Structure 1
Amino acid sequence: MKDFDHLMSVWQAQPKKEHLSVDEVLKQVKKGIRSFTTRLYWGIVAMICTVVAAFIIMFFMAFKSPATTSGILIILLAMAMYLYVMLRHYHILNKHDLTQNPTDYLNSLKQYQKDRNRTIGWLYYTYILLISAGLALYFIEVLENAPLYFKVLIYGFTIIWFMFTTFYIKPRMFKNEEEKLNLMIDRLERLQDQFD
C-alpha cells in the first residue's frame, strides 16, 4: 500500500501538459512559413536573374573555346536543377491553407521536410560539383592571358569559397531551418493531439 501511495504522489506531482492556444500556434506557424516562403521567393528571383545573366553571357559574348560554352552550359544546368527544387518546395509550402484543413497542412509540412532532407545532401553537393566544373571550364579561356599568380588567386579563392559555403555555412543554415521546421511541426502535432 505504501508503494501505491508513493506511486500516486509521483503521478500527481507530474506537471500537466500545457494546452496550446489555437490562435497563438496558428499565428506562429504562419509567421514561420511566411519566413520560409519569403526566403524561397527571393532565392527563386535571384536564381532566375542569374540564369538570365548566364544566358546573355553565353549567347552575346564571343568565346573561342568550346570549353567555355560547355562550362556555361554546365552552370546553367546546375542552376536550372536547383531552381526546379526551389520552385517545388515553394509550391509545397503554399499548396494548403492552414486554416482550412490543418491535417492536410501538417502532412504537407512533413512532406516538405522529408523532401527537403532527401534533396539537401545529394542535390547541394551535385550543385557545387557542377558549378565548380563549369567555372573551371569557363576560366580556361577567360584567364588564358592572365598572369600565373592571378590564375592561382582566382582558382584558390573559388575553391576556398566553395569549401567555406559547403562545410561552414550550409550546415548552420540548414540546421537552423530544420529546428524551425521541427518546432512548427511539433506545435501542430501537439495542437492536433489536444483535439483528438
Structure 2
Amino acid sequence: MQAFDQIQELWQKHEVEVKVSADEMLQQAKREVNGLRLKSALNILGMLASFLVIASVWIFYHFESWTTHLGISITMIAIGVYTLILYRDHRLISKSDYTLHPSEYLSNLKTYQLNRYRLYNSLYWFYTVALSLGIIFYFVEILSYFSTLQKVVAVSLTALWIIFCSTILRKAVIKREKERIALLIEKFERISGQISTPE
C-alpha cells in the first residue's frame, strides 16, 4: 500500500509540459480573430440598418409634432455616434496583420479591450439615455393615436426591453466578450513569447 502511495505522489508531482507550436497557436488565434472581426462587422451593419430604417421612417411618414422630429433626431444621432465608435474599434482589430506583426496586433487588441470596456460601461449609459429620450419625444405624438390600453402596452414593452438590454443582455455580452478577448490576448502573448525566444 505504501508503494502505491509513493507512485501516486510521484505521479502528482510529475508535470507534463505540452508544447504547442507558434504556428498551431497562430492558426487557433486566426480563427478567433476572424470571428471577432465578423462579429464586429455584423454589429456595425446592424447599427447602419437601424439608422437607415429610422431615417426612412422619418423621410416617408409625415409627422406633425416637433417632438417627434426631435425624438427621431436624438435617436439617429445616438445610433450614428455609437456606429462610429464601433467602426473605430473594428478598424483597430482589422488594420494590422496578426500573422506578420503579432506584437503590434497584441497592442491593438489590448487597446480594443479597453475601448470595449468603456463602450459597455460609461458610453453605453449615454447611448441608453439618448435612445430613451428619443423614444419619449417620439411617443408624444405617436401615443396620441393609441387607446389607453395600447399606450400602456407600448410604454411597458419599450421600458421592459430597455431594462432587459441594459441589465441581463448587457452583462452576458460583457462577460462573453471579456473572456473571448482575454483568451485571445493570452494566445498572442504566448505566440510573441515563442517567436522572440528560440526553441
Note whether the superposition's TM-score is higher than 0.5.
Answer: yes
Work out the CA distance in 1 between the residues paired with 2:181 and 2:50: 28
| 5+ long unaligned stretches in structure 2 | 1-9
Aligned length: 186
Question: Structure 1 vs Structure 2: percent identity of aligned residues?
Answer: 28
Work out the CA distance in 2 between the residues paired with 1:95 and 1:14: 44
- 1:6-39 C-alpha deviation (Å, 9 max, x unpaired): xxxx9xx463653332122111111111111111
- 1:136-194 C-alpha deviation (Å, 9 max, x unpaired): 11111111021111111110111111111111011111211110111111111123223
Which letter does structure 2 place at the counterpart of 1:47?
M
Match of residue 75 from structure 1: 75
Q: Do 2:120 and 2:170's aligned partners in 1 also have CA atoms closer than 8 Å? A: no
Inter-CA distance 104–14: structure 2 relative to 1 (3 Å threshold): farther
Match of residue 91 from structure 1: 91
Once structures 1 and 2 are overlaid, which stretch shifts more, 17-26 or 180-189?
17-26
Which letter does structure 2 place at the counterpart of 1:149?
L
Which letter does structure 2 place at the counterpart of 1:145?
Y
Match of residue 172 from structure 1: 172
The question of 1:122 aligning with 2:129 is answered no
Which letter does structure 2 place at the counterpart of 1:151?
K
Work out the CA distance in 2 between the residues paired with 1:115 and 1:14: 42
Work out the CA distance in 1 between the residues paired with 2:193 and 2:23: 16
Consecutive aligned runs of 4 or more in structure 1 exceeding 4 Å deviation = none
Work out the CA distance in 2 between the residues paired with 1:149 and 1:29: 53
Match of residue 3 from structure 2: none
Work out the CA distance in 1 between the residues paired with 2:55 and 2:164: 27
The question of 1:134 aligning with 2:125 is answered no
| 5+ long unaligned stretches in structure 1 | 1-9
Once structures 1 and 2 are overlaid, which stretch shifts more, 163-172 or 40-49?
40-49
Work out the CA distance in 1 between the residues paired with 2:84 and 2:177: 20
Q: Do 1:68 and 1:137's aligned partners in 2 also have CA atoms closer than 8 Å? A: yes
Once structures 1 and 2 are overlaid, which stretch shifts more, 34-43 or 65-74?
34-43
TM-score by length of 1: 0.88
Q: Do 1:20 and 1:191's aligned partners in 2 also have CA atoms closer than 8 Å? A: no
Work out the CA distance in 2 between the residues paired with 1:17 and 1:162: 49
Q: Do 1:71 and 1:136's aligned partners in 2 also have CA atoms closer than 8 Å? A: yes
